[in-house]
Amino acid sequence: MTQATQLQTKSAATFRALKCKECGEEYELKAMHVCEFCFGPLEVAYDYDALRRTVTRETIQAGPHSIWRYRPFLPVETNQPIDVGTGLTPLVRANRLARRLGLKNLYIKNDAVNMPTLSFKDRVVSVALTRARELGFSTVSCASTGNLANSTAAIAAHAGLDCCVFIPADLEAGKVMGTLIYSPTVMAVQGNYDQVNRLCSEVANTHGWGFVNINLRPYYSEGSKTLGYEVAEQLGWELPDHIVAPLASGSLFTKIYKGFREFVDVGLVADKSVRFSGAQADGCSPIAQAYREGRDFVTPVKPSTIAKSLAIGNPADGVYAIDIARKTNGNIESVNDAEIIAGIKLLAETEGIFTETAGGTTVAVLQKLVEAGKIDPDETTVVYITGNGLKTQEAVQGYVGEPLTIEPKLDSFERALERSRTLERLEWQQALV
Ligand SMILES: *Cc1c(COP(=O)(O)O)cnc(C)c1O
Ligand SMILES: [Zn+2]
């Protein structure tokens, strides 16, 4: 894009600086993510007075049917962002799951059907690549646990950007195919995510590429705030009492919090204390461990879990997630792989939603918190389902039934039906003894 066209499509920017979360030092709005003084993470700062003056419920509702209806709260200048229909996913009332768990007001925010690649990562990537284009990058990249590679490759294809993604070599087949189909360059690194991430930091320094979750991280992570905005808008401009969300780096969790606070600050919703509870897998639970032990530092671990999309052993935003869970009277819990599979099945059988291992983790933690009396049955509780089960089929292989193979004849069907009913009865009787 030339300088002139960029100027034409600029709108009044409401984001004004990158600001260090630790020491408050401010920086220009470039591609950088670490404070030069204290090495703290940088975050986008906004002019909230301007937002208060210009944004109303009506201006938001008049916007596009995507995350870009919240554009004044997102760190881009253009009013022609990359819009592939990302966001505004269903918030569904989960009555059958609620009854099973003993809750009264349960909702599911269903990003298993987010566009275009069926995970919440489409939100962060839409924002990061729009900003990458503004900053003049022609090649975009990421260090991914799977879903991020899918989103980056797909949205880069749509935007006509060159793309090279890095993944751990042992990812699920669906996540690998869900990247390769867009024909990016794919580097399958023989190592875990934390090693992939370290390699990518070096590449970012030497190649001048826009890594969505490294040098563009302050912009990228703002995209997750839309999961807060949407829930508030979909609840009729009200905040819930309690949210449960998965934790990998912890970024999503902290940004839902930031999103809620911003809506309160600019007067779009009434203030309310929302409890924040986080979910991890036992096989990679550095944040849950620190939380349980009352620590305010996170000790890195080596991941080993079927929840590969959450397998970050050295989580960048772990301490901030712990702080939010503590100050909101929430919790951070973890569950084992068997519980994750049971969580996937429970959500599918009660609500008709097939989620990936991250969603199974979140549902299983929800159940654990309810059983421990840590969620009040009356609380309006929102569970964030962040990814789609079709991408992690390996996880439930062998834990679901099999189709009944029959001949194309009525009597073959009748015999099979009778057999399956007998089998069901037997299983039922066995369950009773
Ligand atoms: C990346 C991811 C998360 C968590 O992301 P963080 O912001 O790093 O905590 C949750 N669910 C799914 C499905 C993901 O792909
Ligand atoms: Zn600093």
Note if the bond before 408 is cis, omega within 30 degrees.
Answer: no
Residue 247 Cβ contacting ligand 1 at under 6 Å: yes
Please tell me the number of the ligand nearest to residue 152's CA. Answer: 1
Distance 197 CA to ligand 2 centre (A): 22
Distance 252 CA to ligand 1 centre (A): 7
Give the chain's end-to-end CA distance (angstroms, integer).
71
Residue 250 Cβ contacting ligand 1 at under 6 Å: yes
pTM score of the predicted model: 0.95
Domain edges within the chain: 91-117+224-396, 405-433
Task: Compute the half-sphere exposure of residue 374: CA atoms within 13 Å on the CB side of its CA.
Answer: 20
Please tell me the number of the ligand nearest to residue 34's CA. Answer: 2
- In this prediction, residue 1 carries a pLDDT of 40
Distance 126 CA to ligand 2 centre (A): 27
- In this prediction, residue 11 carries a pLDDT of 57
Residue 343 Cβ contacting ligand 1 at under 6 Å: no
Residue 29 Cβ contacting ligand 1 at under 6 Å: no
Closest by CA position to 386, among listed 164, 196, 181, 226:
226
> Whose structure tokens read 């309006």?
380
Closest by CA position to 215, among listed 225, 200, 226:
200
Distance 74 CA to ligand 1 centre (A): 19
Residue 255 Cβ contacting ligand 1 at under 6 Å: no
Closest by CA position to 331, among listed 250, 231, 244:
244
**Residue nearest (by alpha carbon) to ligand 1 atom 4:** 248
**Residue nearest (by alpha carbon) to ligand 1 atom 5:** 248
Closest by CA position to 284, among listed 254, 249, 319:
249
Residue 362 Cβ contacting ligand 1 at under 6 Å: no
Closest by CA position to 87, among listed 121, 57, 123:
123
Residue 147 Cβ contacting ligand 1 at under 6 Å: yes
State which ligand 1 atom lies nearest to the alpha carbon of 224.
7
Closest by CA position to 41, among listed 22, 17, 16, 15:
22
- In this prediction, residue 427 carries a pLDDT of 84
Residues in contact with 291: Cβ distance below 8 Å, sequence separation at least 6, in sequence order: 278, 322, 325, 326, 331, 332
* pLDDT-flagged residues of the chain (< 50): 1-8
What is d(CA 110, CA 127) in angstroms, rounded to the nearest whole number?
20
- Report the chain's C-alpha Rg in angstroms: 22
**Residue nearest (by alpha carbon) to ligand 1 atom 14:** 309
Pocket test for ligand 1, best of 309, 340, 388 (most atoms within 8 A of CB): 309
Pocket test for ligand 1, best of 108, 113, 124, 147 (most atoms within 8 A of CB): 147
CATH code reported for the domain at 91-117+224-396:
3.40.50.1100
Please tell me the number of the ligand nearest to residue 150's CA. Answer: 1
How many Cβ atoms are within 10 Å of 292's Cβ, its own excluded? 13
What is d(CA 85, CA 123) in angstroms, rounded to the nearest whole number?
10
Pocket test for ligand 1, best of 120, 212, 390 (most atoms within 8 A of CB): 120
Distance 41 CA to ligand 2 centre (A): 7
- In this prediction, residue 12 carries a pLDDT of 63
What is d(CA 231, CA 30) in angstroms, rounded to the nearest whole number?
30
State which ligand 1 atom lies nearest to the alpha carbon of 148.
15
Residue 149 Cβ contacting ligand 1 at under 6 Å: no
**Residue nearest (by alpha carbon) to ligand 1 atom 11:** 386
Residues in contact with 206: Cβ distance below 8 Å, sequence separation at least 6, in sequence order: none
Closest by CA position to 388, among listed 431, 416, 357, 424:
357
Distance 161 CA to ligand 1 centre (A): 24
